[in-house]
Amino acid sequence: MGITESLNIDAKFRKATAFIQQGNTLAAIQIYKNLLLIPEAERKATIKLADIYDQAGNLNSAVELFEAYLKHNSDDSEIIKLVSYFLVRNSLFTEAQRFINKFDIKDENMDFLRGVVNFHTQKFVDSHKIFTEFITKYNSSELLPSVLFYLSKIYFINSDFDSALKAVKKSIELLGDNPEAYKLEADIYFNKEMYYHANESIGKALKLNPSVIAWRHFQIKILILLDEINKVKEKLHTVIDESPSSAEILYMIGKWHLQKNEKKEANRYFAIAETINQKLAK
């Protein structure tokens, strides 16, 4: 390709970028579609156009675009990885598994994604095998915290709480700012009936991400089991909504008061819970 042709292609890409900045996406799309026909510009145009489709929520068009490119560029490992991550990021796990299985790329990124898609398609035995082999092959990988997190989830699903706890603690040691890991740790402790530790873990999760209402509900349930009723009532007004989880919490508080032979207070909470359930039933 000559210098003039190369400069012309660069100019078209700049023009498309300018159109996007002006909000004229349709004009940019037309330029990228024309650039797809030029072999030297096809790869970049594919990525740019797929990004537009992705941002518009048109996932199928983005995938079809990449697949069309890969029909005659099947050795482009970077694009294969990009598409694999794209599918996983959009929770298209079955599609991701089909796509990944077309290509024989063996590296830590693709092995990790294989483990992830097997997990999310409930092939837990295969996922466990992939992740345990990953730890052996890539023992200094930056993906190790996530691998250990997924292994912990697999153990948890299989009610192997001791192995689950061991794996999630290793994950937290390597990466201590993942709120999901602390929430999983709390779930494990809860199932082991170690409520004090569960409360510590959910507290750490909420410190990192206080916006998840389900986690705040979970914290209150733990506090009830710890007989920390004053702390429960301090937090209650900020989390109770018209959800089944809120009704469950109110019933738990009512039962707590009933065990203390405080029937009037118990009935008050039972009544509020019943009101929520009646609204949900409508």
Identity of the amino acid at 117:
V
Query: Which residue in 199, 248, 205, 245 sits closest to 219, CA to CA?
Result: 199
Structure tokens at 222: 């733990």
Q: In a structure prediction context, what are the per-residue pLDDT tens digits for the chain, which is 282 residues long?
A: 556 576 688 899 999 999 999 999 999 999 999 999 998 999 999 999 999 999 998 988 999 999 999 999 999 999 999 999 999 999 999 999 999 998 888 899 999 999 999 999 999 999 999 999 999 999 999 999 999 999 999 999 999 999 999 999 999 999 999 999 999 999 999 999 999 999 999 999 999 999 999 999 999 999 999 999 999 999 998 888 989 999 999 999 999 999 999 999 999 999 999 999 888 876
Structure tokens at 19: 């159109």
The helix/strand/coil state of 79 is helix
What is the CATH number assigned to the segment(s) 1-73?
Answer: 1.25.40.10
Location of structure tokens 């990953």: 134
Q: DSSP string of 25-75?
A: HHHHHHHHHHHTTSHHHHHHHHHHHHHHHHHTT-HHHHHHHHHHHHTS-TT
Task: Say how far apart CA 15 and CA 17 lie, in whole Å.
Answer: 5
Our measurement of the distance from residue 65's CA atom to the centroid of its chain's CA atoms, rounded to an integer in Å, reads 25
**Residue 127 near residue 154 (C-beta atoms within 8 A):** yes
Write down the domain spans for the chain: 1-73
pLDDT at 4: 58
**Residue 171 near residue 183 (C-beta atoms within 8 A):** no
- pTM here is 0.88
**Residue 65 near residue 53 (C-beta atoms within 8 A):** yes
Long-range contacts for 175-179 (Cβ within 8 Å, ≥24 apart)? Answer: 175/145, 177/208, 178/145, 178/149, 178/208, 179/204, 179/205, 179/206, 179/208, 179/209, 179/212
Query: Which residue in 32, 50, 27, 51 sits closest to 42, CA to CA?
Result: 32
